[in-house]
Structure 1
Amino acid sequence: MLLLCLCVFHRAMLSEWFWWDRLWLPRPVTWADLQDSEGRVYACVSHLYIILPVAVLLLGLRTFYERLIAVPLAEALGVKDKIRKRASHNPILEIYYNTHSKHPTQADIKGVCKRLGWSERQVERWFRRRRNQDRPGLLKKFKECLFYVLFGCKNKSINCELCCFVPQKPWFYDLREVWAGFPKQSLLDSQYWYYIIEMSFYGSLLFSVAADVKRKDFKEQLVHHWATLTLLSFSWCANYIRIGTLVMLVHDTSDVLLESAKMFNYAGWETTCNSIFVVFALVFMVTRLIIFPFWLIHCTWVYPLDQFEPFFGYYFFNVMLVVLLLLHVFWASLILRMVKKFIFGKLKCDERSDEEEDEEGSEEDYTHTYSNGSGNGLSNGH
């Protein structure tokens, strides 16, 4: 009983510390000042409870859409998976592949050759085939990109609604208005739905991360998703809604273009893909490396100091924005490499993609026997 009381006490203390006014709000504002009153509605944490069920709903809609819409569309466009030759069944190599390395060094290959009695060429081919088996097919990539495109188009409709009544939203053209009256800024319906759908989407991506296409920037994508959800959650609770919607608008602008370019690439529409990619590269550089740091981050670093003294939330929000900026710089370097290849006619794939490997040499059948797992296999004539 005493232990239970202590746990409840510590939980209450932790909750009280976590929601301490000075962590989230500038002096002298308190949470009591942000209670709904006189027809004014403010963002609160209870509004976010709907995100989890909406994220699950998005996963269900995505599965439904991929089976009933994406697959027939892919077939109509001629998108289909390549026929892959599977690696021969080999317990020794399979164990090595799963527990040691998918890309063995030359020294490791020679060691395996001695155990199996295979040639280096055979072992290298086995690993190429085995790696190809784990890579997602073209159809899976196409379905994923098409879903992102449709979701992005949905977001664009909300973006249009956000921008339709610009005179009522002066912060769209005067960034100082972002902080006018902060944090006592009432919530708009369009802002509410923009946040809920955007956060639900990123939540669904975290749920499906194990099944989605894994690219070379997989870790960076995870950091991006977590940073985005953290940033959006904090901006909602601390009523950074105006700047939050501007940050989302800037980020959503180029995403649809990238997924569209990849989708047309998988469909074999090379000219369309290249044209969209050029537009995407320009939009990405302008929005993520110019507008985002020099307008939006400047807005969050400088203008708030005219209204209030720095507090924890001020520093936390800006640090998270800088994390996103660093990810933008990383992705910009990949895009510039792709642009370089595009200019010199060598662009064939997304720099982030883990592309299927071509097999070299003539095809050979592998027929081997094993002696109690000792590794002393019989040679197949090489």
Structure 2
Amino acid sequence: MSGKQTEAEEAMPKRFPITDYFLHYVGKSKMQLLFFLMFMLIFPFLGVFLREIGRIIESRKLENPSYPYPEYSDFLLALTTCGLLLLIMHTFKISLRGVARSAISKRYPVSQRNDRADRLLDRLFKGIYFMFSFGFGYYIAKDLDFFPPALGGKGSANYMFDGYPYQEKQPLLREYLMIQLGYHLKSLVIHLWSKPRNDFMEMLLHHFMTVFLISLAYMMNYVNMSILVLYTHDFADIFGCFVQTFVDTDRVYCTLTSYILLLITWFYTRIWVFPNELIRAACYESTTEIHGLWLLGGMLHFLLVLHVYWYYLFLKMGYKFLKTSHAEDIQHKIETH
């Protein structure tokens, strides 16, 4: 009987790998399915807007030919940054993989140590980058009139669209945006290239929206708003990366300290400041006519949903730690083989 069953199973056509992957990582999780539907929902709106963006940009250049409007050639800096970061990160991981592997807690089986060491180095590299981008962003924006006190400035987010679309060109601001775009392009490339994990769809949605938002905002000259959004995100990301750096080691106090700082900074910047300062000023109180703000605003609200969902995951991780005394990254799991 078992022989007949085996023959029957072998005779059955196998599904395509992409089907197996979808069922495994999306079909078994309601949240991943929700993120997949959100991802698919974006595309029709993108198509509608992208048909008009070229015409809008050309009309603005003709209307004010003396203004240094953003150019597509500016994206060369983003592509160069992406390539350099990929090279630096590859060298970083090769050089420190042995040290990282020895830092992984002995509670994990040998079969997982390489994966966990790679994750440790990946998050450490990201944490270092976010420290740089946060400091660079503050240096550029701290004295600008649209940088609000909630983020360490002296101005008001309500001024982010003053003079739009021909706002005064601020020193290093556009270069900052292209460097940030290069970093997020690097993250998207690595995400698509890496072995899929349980958070694949939500991270794909996050990386895709971030790359698109920065690119769209740059070409539509939403540069003031862009630095506010990116700066708001980078602060909490520093501690998020350090939590994920230490979580697989025996450095419990480092993990716990980073975790507490993550909860504080994430709630303040992403759940309080992001909607109450930035989304409010851009989407609900701005009196400036801004073409495409409906799409940009919709994607900002999608990001806010992700912020709340991830905060829930952080709290869930903390609860599990209190219950079991074992810290684990449940968002980006390493599978046991």
Matched, 1:267 2:249: yes
Farther off after superposition, 279-288 or 245-254: 279-288
Which residue identity is paired with 1:30?
R
Unaligned runs of 5+ residues in structure 1 are 1-13, 85-131, 359-382
Q: What is the correspondence of 1:300-315 to structure 2 with a 5 Å cutoff?
A: 300-304=282-286, 306-308=287-289, 311=291, 313-315=292-294
Matched, 1:145 2:123: yes
How far apart, CA to CA, are the structure 1 residues paired with 2:92 and 2:270? 31
Equivalence for 1:203: 185
Residue 71 of structure 2 is aligned with which of 30, 37, 44?
Answer: 44
How far apart, CA to CA, are the structure 1 residues paired with 2:268 and 2:325? 24
Residue 238 of structure 1 is aligned with which of 220, 235, 238?
Answer: 220
Which residue identity is paired with 1:174?
S
Please list the CA deviations of residues 217-237 of structure 1 after superposition, one character each: whole Å capped at 9, or x if unmatched. Answer: 111101111101111111111
CA contact (8 A) 2:61 2:69 kept: no
Q: What is the correspondence of 1:176-191 to structure 2 with a 5 Å cutoff?
A: 176-191=158-173
CA contact (8 A) 1:158 1:190 kept: no
Residue 275 of structure 2 is aligned with which of 274, 293, 302?
Answer: 293
Residue 211 of structure 2 is aligned with which of 224, 229, 240?
Answer: 229
How far apart, CA to CA, are the structure 2 residues paired with 1:34 and 1:347? 60
Query: What is the Cα deviation at residue 283 of structure 1?
Result: 1.2
Of structures 1 and 2, the one scoring higher in RCO (CA 8 A, sep 6+) is: 1
**Any idea what SS the aligned residue of 1:20 has?**
helix
Distance 1:140 1:34, change over 3 A: farther
Please list the CA deviations of residues 292-351 of structure 1 after superposition, one character each: whole Å capped at 9, or x if unmatched. Answer: 1121111111233x233x64x121111111121121122122112123224445452012
How far apart, CA to CA, are the structure 2 residues paired with 1:231 and 1:355? 30
Farther off after superposition, 242-251 or 170-179: 170-179
**Any idea what SS the aligned residue of 1:220 has?**
helix
Which residue identity is paired with 2:218?
W
Query: What is the Cα deviation at residue 17 of structure 1?
Result: 4.7
CA contact (8 A) 2:137 2:227 kept: no
Distance 1:351 1:319, change over 3 A: same
Which residue identity is paired with 2:307?
H
How far apart, CA to CA, are the structure 2 residues paired with 1:15 and 1:159? 28
How far apart, CA to CA, are the structure 2 residues paired with 1:83 and 1:339? 26
CA contact (8 A) 1:82 1:137 kept: no
Equivalence for 1:158: 136
Equivalence for 1:19: 54
How far apart, CA to CA, are the structure 2 residues paired with 1:234 and 1:221? 20
Residue 30 of structure 1 is aligned with which of 41, 60, 82?
Answer: 60
How far apart, CA to CA, are the structure 2 residues paired with 1:34 and 1:282? 45
How far apart, CA to CA, are the structure 2 residues paired with 1:159 and 1:152? 10
More helix by share: 2
**Any idea what SS the aligned residue of 1:286 has?**
helix
Query: What is the Cα deviation at residue 251 of structure 1?
Result: 0.6
How far apart, CA to CA, are the structure 1 residues paired with 2:208 and 2:243? 25
Equivalence for 2:29: none
**Structure exhibiting the larger radius of gyration computed from Cα positions:** 1
Equivalence for 2:45: none
Equivalence for 1:339: 318
How far apart, CA to CA, are the structure 2 residues paired with 1:296 and 1:202? 21
When the two structures are superposed, what TM-score results if normalisation uses the length of structure 2?
0.75
How far apart, CA to CA, are the structure 1 residues paired with 2:146 and 2:335? 50
Please list the CA deviations of residues 270-297 of structure 1 after superposition, one character each: whole Å capped at 9, or x if unmatched. Answer: 1110111011012112211111112111
How far apart, CA to CA, are the structure 2 residues paired with 1:171 and 1:48? 25
How far apart, CA to CA, are the structure 2 residues paired with 1:152 and 1:62? 14
How far apart, CA to CA, are the structure 2 residues paired with 1:65 and 1:222? 24
When the two structures are superposed, what TM-score results if normalisation uses the length of structure 1?
0.66
How far apart, CA to CA, are the structure 2 residues paired with 1:159 and 1:64? 26
Farther off after superposition, 144-153 or 243-252: 144-153
Distance 1:67 1:52, change over 3 A: same
Equivalence for 1:63: 90
Farther off after superposition, 245-254 or 326-335: 326-335
Farther off after superposition, 46-55 or 268-277: 46-55
Distance 1:47 1:294, change over 3 A: same
How far apart, CA to CA, are the structure 2 residues paired with 1:243 and 1:171? 10
How far apart, CA to CA, are the structure 2 residues paired with 1:186 and 1:42? 10
Equivalence for 1:329: 308
Equivalence for 2:233: 251
Query: What is the Cα deviation at residue 158 of structure 1?
Result: 0.7
Distance 1:266 1:283, change over 3 A: same
Please list the CA deviations of residues 27-59 of structure 1 after superposition, one character each: whole Å capped at 9, or x if unmatched. Answer: xx733245444xxx3323321133223212211
Q: What is the correspondence of 1:62-141 to structure 2 with a 5 Å cutoff?
A: 62-68=89-95, 70-71=96-97, 73-74=99-100, 77=103, 82-84=109-111, 137-141=115-119
Which residue identity is paired with 2:70?
A
- Tell me the percent identity: 20
